[in-house]
Structure 1
Amino acid sequence: MSHKTLLRTGPLTQGGTSPYGPLGLPDAEGLALPSGFTGRVVARSGHKVAGLTWHAAPDGGACFPDGDGWIYVSNSELPLLGGASALRFRADGTVGDAYRILSGTDLNCAGGATPWHTWLSCELGHRGRVFECDPYGARAARPRLAMGRFRHEAAACDPERRVVYMTEDEPDGCFYRFSPSDWGDLTEGTLEVLCGSGHWRVVPSPAGLLQETRHQVADARRFDGGDACHYAGGVCYFTTKGDTGLWAYDGQSGTLDRLCEGVRAITAAPSGDLYAARRSTQIDVIAPDREVTPFLRLEGQAGAELTGLAFSPRGDRLYLSARRGRAEGRTFEIAGPFRGCGQS
């Protein structure tokens, strides 16, 4: 079933029976999972992993194919020292390497993967930038200034319309799209903002030198703290911090719907299921029939945020981080019989 089923068939339904059954007792790390699923910590902030000291404040993340293995990248939401790091997994799931792919940037919160296998790391600071990073560690990261200078939170690529959607973490933030002059090259292009009429209008000065980008178009639609962003099946899903909303923008029809409240981060599985990290330390699965049921709970971690949700290329492992404040952070891998496992 298409992800668009979520958008078009009525309100979400809370409760019911999870496709994976009830949650079991928490393990030593506090993870409560359905039967058949296991969790492990693959990296801890301040501790070595494959020779690299894993960063503090882990946030947005994504997975990339790497031969028989795969790579998980993770941002660091630290001021001035933020950047991003990568874990390279072998085919058997062991960590073979860990390395930095971006350093010396400011408050790298979320971001997004591109269809050409690069990572867009977004700076949350004033006049923040988008950096395009090489998850394989072969090329230096580059700022993509045409994508605007504002409090960037997350980015999601829409290959059908050849645009990149972006969220802005301001109380009166906007929802943007960037149309590159050449798809696959983000050096130049046009930045637009979604307006109250449902139309997109060009932002006159993406650099925002004299006037901030969100104030340049009079009828720009406002969102209370744009947060996570993910594109799947024709729909761009994004969340808002201030009112804890989960939104769905249909790129083909140009319609925008609010699906539910209480969501922090979002990703999609090959099955068509969405996985939503709640403001509490819980992850729910939202099935294509719009039923919402618990999938994971992290117990004994009051006040922690679950971030960086991403599936491995085969869809058999889910990665996420749990962070509390600037210092404490753990990056988890959840393995098990996910629906759609092995699809690409």
Structure 2
Amino acid sequence: MDRRTVLRATVAGGAAFCGSLWADAALAAPAQPGPGPYGELLPADTNGLQLPAGFTSRVIARSGQLVPGTSYLWHWAPDGGACYPAGTGWIYVSNSEIPLAGGASAVRFRADGSIAAAYRILGGTTMNCAGGATPWGTWLSCEETPLGQVFETWPDGSRSAEARSRMGRFTHEAAACDPDRQVVYLTEDEKDGCFYRFVPDTWADLRTGRLQVLCAPAEPVTGPVTWRDVPDRDGFPVATRHQLGAARHFDGGEGCWYDRGTCWFTTKGDNRVWAYDAVHQRLDLAYDDSLVPAGAAPLVGVDNITGTAGGDLYVAEDGDNMEINMITPAGVVTPFLRLLGHPSSEITGPAFSPDGTRLYFSSQRGTSGSAAGSGGVTYEVTGPFRR
């Protein structure tokens, strides 16, 4: 029996996606393809982006070139990102997923959307892939390398970045803060990676605390879970993911996003979007391409994820046809945008401006497909987003 058949049987048997995870909808199963709220994608604009009617795009930065209106060279291989309010404007931060000289940069915007400044907020780190925003206004930049660390940074550049070693040494990918339970969820980009949470001794202070790993049987796919402390968060000589036999393993942890009792995270090895119900400590599936009719899956190569106040999820693709797909509260998965002419790249860093009217993201390697990320391009899409 192939994976698709097994999963369909599992969902039919009662391990389906739990409708309580979306406040305003009763979803009975993982998301399925359907028409989106914005209609069909139009022909590509001058930036190579196919967008719905009413949406426009602009390029705000290119790797190795000056950010328009500034003297700052934009970093290579732009990856995970987030937005922050700043006075009457806002800031977009972006990681750099390159070895040794990774780190993170920021672009500051004025109230009218024009660029006011660009600058470095983290240096001297390596392979900064994704990360996550904190409720207290900092950016957690994660190193995607064995024994990698999380670095807390200040988007306005007011303080030097600080390592948060107590959050564990492993192949970090993304982070998402849960202010209700006062924990930070963490994904791990390994084929047998784990899903973690950091429990700080004091909320908003990540210098001390406990690192825990999600524990559950490998089968069934969904159901109740528990958390156990990781014995040695430094991960040497035994990697954190191998220290507890009860730890649940995931095939390539990627993006992570928390909203109203649910932490959504993605796994690229099996093209899944998971939903961890933090209220009931239950794991469910929000999307799985194996539960979509063969050949009809719009979302392949799942990667970074973000969401809106209205409950829409936006999931970026690594490869495939270079889309950002929506998963709506009604359980519909549908393309929101498609980027043409970037066949050897991936879409990274999706994040909304504080007012929800602008979406930022990057093509990590751009049209060149350079493995070093020298062709990276960072975009802004403006339009009537649902909020």
TM-score w.r.t. structure 2 length? 0.85
Residue aligning to 1:329: 376
Task: Pick one of 51, 71, 75 that aligns with 1:51.
Answer: 71
Secondary structure of the structure 1 residue equivalent to 2:141? strand
Secondary structure of the structure 2 residue equivalent to 1:146? helix
Q: How many residues align?
A: 340
Task: Pick one of 267, 273, 293 that aligns with 1:246.
Answer: 273
Separation (CA, whole Å) in 2 of partners of 1:75 and 1:245 = 24
Task: Pick one of 181, 204, 215 that aligns with 2:201.
Answer: 181
Separation (CA, whole Å) in 2 of partners of 1:189 and 1:99 = 31
After TM superposition, give the deviation of residue 13 of structure 1 in Å: 4.5
TM-score w.r.t. structure 1 length? 0.95
Separation (CA, whole Å) in 1 of partners of 2:46 and 2:232 = 51
Separation (CA, whole Å) in 2 of partners of 1:241 and 1:174 = 13
Report the residue type matching 1:18 in the other structure.
Answer: G
Separation (CA, whole Å) in 2 of partners of 1:292 and 1:170 = 26
Separation (CA, whole Å) in 2 of partners of 1:30 and 1:6 = 35
Separation (CA, whole Å) in 2 of partners of 1:173 and 1:293 = 28
Secondary structure of the structure 1 residue equivalent to 2:248? coil
After TM superposition, give the deviation of residue 14 of structure 1 in Å: 3.5
Change (3 A) 1:222 1:15: closer
After TM superposition, give the deviation of residue 323 of structure 1 in Å: 1.5
After TM superposition, give the deviation of residue 258 of structure 1 in Å: 2.0
After TM superposition, give the deviation of residue 6 of structure 1 in Å: 8.6
Task: Pick one of 191, 204, 208 that aligns with 2:231.
Answer: 204
- Is the counterpart of residue 286 in structure 1 residue 327 in structure 2? yes
Write out aligned runs for 1:21-100 (5 A): 21-49=39-67, 50-100=70-120
Tell me how large the CA RMSD over aligned residues is: 1.6
Gaps of 5+ in 2: 1-18, 218-224, 290-299, 366-370
Report the residue type matching 1:36 in the other structure.
Answer: G
1:2–1:233 Cα contact (<8 Å) kept? no
Task: Pick one of 142, 148, 159 that aligns with 1:139.
Answer: 159
Residue aligning to 2:315: 276
Residue aligning to 2:191: 171
2:22–2:311 Cα contact (<8 Å) kept? no
After TM superposition, give the deviation of residue 2 of structure 1 in Å: 8.4
Secondary structure of the structure 2 residue equivalent to 1:188? strand
Separation (CA, whole Å) in 1 of partners of 2:105 and 2:65 = 13
Secondary structure of the structure 2 residue equivalent to 1:27? coil
Residue aligning to 2:352: 311
1:2–1:272 Cα contact (<8 Å) kept? no
- Is the counterpart of residue 295 in structure 1 residue 336 in structure 2? yes
Secondary structure of the structure 1 residue equivalent to 2:124? coil
Secondary structure of the structure 1 residue equivalent to 2:241? helix
Separation (CA, whole Å) in 1 of partners of 2:58 and 2:247 = 44
Bigger proportion of residues as strand: 1
Residue aligning to 1:108: 128
After TM superposition, give the deviation of residue 210 of structure 1 in Å: 2.8
Change (3 A) 1:85 1:2: farther
Report the residue type matching 1:247 in the other structure.
Answer: W
Residue aligning to 1:129: 149
1:6–1:290 Cα contact (<8 Å) kept? no
After TM superposition, give the deviation of residue 287 of structure 1 in Å: 1.4
1:7–1:257 Cα contact (<8 Å) kept? no
Secondary structure of the structure 2 residue equivalent to 1:48? coil
Change (3 A) 1:91 1:3: farther
After TM superposition, give the deviation of residue 259 of structure 1 in Å: 2.2
1:224-278 deviation line (CA, Å, top 9, x unaligned): 1111111112111111122121111111111111222322221101221111123
After TM superposition, give the deviation of residue 179 of structure 1 in Å: 0.4
